[in-house]
Amino acid sequence: MKIRPSLPQGTRDFAPQTLRKRQFVLQTIRGVFERYGFQPLETPAMENLDTLLGKYGEEGDKLIFRILNNGLDNPAKHEAAMEGFRQVLEGRNSTTVTERALRYDLTIPFARFVAMNHAQLNFPFKRYQMQPVWRADRPQKGRYREFWQCDADVVGSPSLLYEAELASIYLDAFRSLGIPVSVRVNHRGLLAALAEACGGAGRLTDITVSIDKLDKVGLEKVMEELDRKEFPETATAKIRTYLGVAGDNSERLQAVEGLLGGYEAGAKGIGELRWLLDFLRRDDGTEPLEIDLTLARGLDYYTGMIFEVKALDAQMGSIGGGGRYDDLTGLFGVPGIPGVGVSFGIDRICDVMEEKGLFPASLETGSRVLFFHLGQAEARHAWTVMQQLRARDTACEIYPEAARFDKQFKYAERRHIPIVAFVGSEEIAADTVRYKDLSTGEQRTVPRTAFLDALSPS
C-alpha cells in the first residue's frame, strides 16, 4: 500500500522562500513594537481548557481545539472515563476527558499571565507576543486552522494615550510593510447606548451582529434581519438613522451626538473618539483614522474603543483588530486592571502582500556567493577561502561535487545566488580568486584579500 503523507486540514508547511517573507513581516512588526517600548512575552501552545472556555462567546467555545487526555485507557479509570465521555456527548465539558486545549488567541493567555503575576509586574505593563493560534474553523480564503497573531497590549492604565500609541503602531507597521490600509475605529459605548435607546441593553449582541454586516449586505438586508429578530418599530427606526449617519469624522460624531449623546455610555464614547482623533490629527489637518459606526467586533470582552484594519483594494477580511477591555483579568480573579490591545493577522497580511506583489525582491537571496567545485584539491582551497568569507559574515556555500558547469551555474541561478567564485589551479598558484557577477556577466580575477574585502558586508 502506498502511503500518502498529508497535513491536518487548514495547516501549512512553509518552504524557505515563503518563510523568508513571513519573517520579514514578523521582523518589521517586531521592530515597531520595540520602538514603542513593548516587551516580548511567550505563553504555552496549550492552556487549561477552563482558562479558555467562556471567553470568546458561545461560538468561540466550539472553535477551541481540545486535547484528549492521556491515559484514558487505564483500566482503573475506565468508569470515570466513560462518565466523562457521556458528558462530552451531551455537549458539556469534562476534565476527565479533556483538561487542556490549544491557544485560541493571544489576549486571554496574556490576561491569565497578568492575573498570575500581577504582584511582580510594573504597571502599566506593555507586552507584545507573536505566536501561532489554533481555531477549529472551516478553512477558506484567508482563514486557516493554524495561524499567527502578533499582539501588543498594555494593561494597568485607563489612559487614552495608549489608544493613540496602538493606533500609531498600526499606521507605522503598515506603512513600513507598504500595505495601504484604512484603520477604522468605533466605541463600544456608542453601541451600548444604541442598544439602550432600542429598549434593551441585553440585545446589544443582536444589534451589533446585524449592523456589522452593513457594508457587506447593504442597509435593507440589515433592516430585514432586525425585523426578523423582532425589534419594535421605534427601535429599527433609530437604528436606521444611526446607520444613515454619513460625512467626515467630525460630522459623523456630531450626528451621533444628537442621537445618543443623552446616554452616559454614548457621551463617553463620543468624547473619547473626539479626543483620539484630535490627538492624532496630522499637521496638515487630515486624520489617519476613520470612524466606522458599524464596526462592532465580535469578542465579548471589549468595552471601550475598538479598532479594525482592512487592506485597501484587496479581497481579504480584516488584517488586524483590537480594542479596550476594562476588566479582562477579573475573569481570573484579579479585578481592576484595565487594558487595551491590538492584533495583527500575519497570515492575511502575507496573503495580501503576495497578492499585490509587495515583498521586496531582496528576500529571495540566501547565500551571496557560490564556490564552484573544480576537483578535490581545488575544493579544499576554495573551502579555506570560503571559511574566511564566512568569518566575515558573508553567507556562502560550495557546490558538493565537480559537476558540469551548467549544473553549477543553474544551481546558483535557482537559489538566487548573485556571485559565483572560481578557485582553480591558476588561482591557487597566484593566491587569487576569480569571481563572476551573474546578473551582469562581468568577471574578474583579484588577489584573495581583495576578494574578501569586496564581498564582506560594508
Partner RNA sequence: GAGGGUGUAGCUCAGCUGGUUAGAGCAUCAGAUUGUGGUUCUGAGGGUCGUGGGUUCGAACCCCAUCAUCCUCCCCA
The residues of the shown chain that bind RNA, judged by CB under 7 A, are: 2, 6-10, 57, 59-60, 105, 135, 137-145, 147, 149, 209, 212-213, 216-217, 296-299, 309, 315, 317-321, 343, 345, 347-348, 374-375, 378, 404-407, 409-410, 412-413, 422, 424-427, 434, 436, 438-439, 441, 443
In the complex, the smallest distance separating the C-beta of residue 70 from RNA, rounded to whole angstroms, is 24
Nearby residues of 127 by Cβ (< 8 Å), 6 or more positions away: 38, 39, 40, 41, 110, 152, 153
Query: Which is nearer to RNA, 354 or 413 (by Cβ)?
Result: 413
Closest C-alpha among 295, 277, 279 to residue 187: 295
In the complex, the smallest distance separating the C-beta of residue 443 from RNA, rounded to whole angstroms, is 6
Query: Which is nearer to RNA, 288 or 317 (by Cβ)?
Result: 317
Q: Which residues pair with 184 in a beta bridge?
A: 290, 308
For β-strands 339-345 and 146-155, DSSP reports them as: antiparallel
CA atoms within 13 A on the CB side of 136: 11
Alpha-carbon distance of 338 to 324, in angstroms, equals 8
In the complex, the smallest distance separating the C-beta of residue 273 from RNA, rounded to whole angstroms, is 20
Cα distances from 391 to residues 228, 235, 378, 384, in angstroms, run 71, 72, 20, 11
Query: Which is nearer to RNA, 137 or 326 (by Cβ)?
Result: 137
Query: Which is nearer to RNA, 189 or 321 (by Cβ)?
Result: 321
CA atoms within 13 A on the CB side of 438: 20
Alpha-carbon distance of 47 to 50, in angstroms, equals 8
In the complex, the smallest distance separating the C-beta of residue 219 from RNA, rounded to whole angstroms, is 14
Alpha-carbon distance of 231 to 239, in angstroms, equals 10
In the complex, the smallest distance separating the C-beta of residue 31 from RNA, rounded to whole angstroms, is 20
Query: Which is nearer to RNA, 389 or 433 (by Cβ)?
Result: 433
Would you state the cell numbers that stand for residue 96, as one nine-digit string?
476527565
In the complex, the smallest distance separating the C-beta of residue 28 from RNA, rounded to whole angstroms, is 17
Query: Which is nearer to RNA, 213 or 274 (by Cβ)?
Result: 213
For β-strands 125-134 and 146-155, DSSP reports them as: antiparallel
In the complex, the smallest distance separating the C-beta of residue 240 from RNA, rounded to whole angstroms, is 19
Q: Please, are residues 28 and 177 in contact by the beta-carbon 8 Å criterion?
A: yes
Query: Which is nearer to RNA, 120 or 140 (by Cβ)?
Result: 140
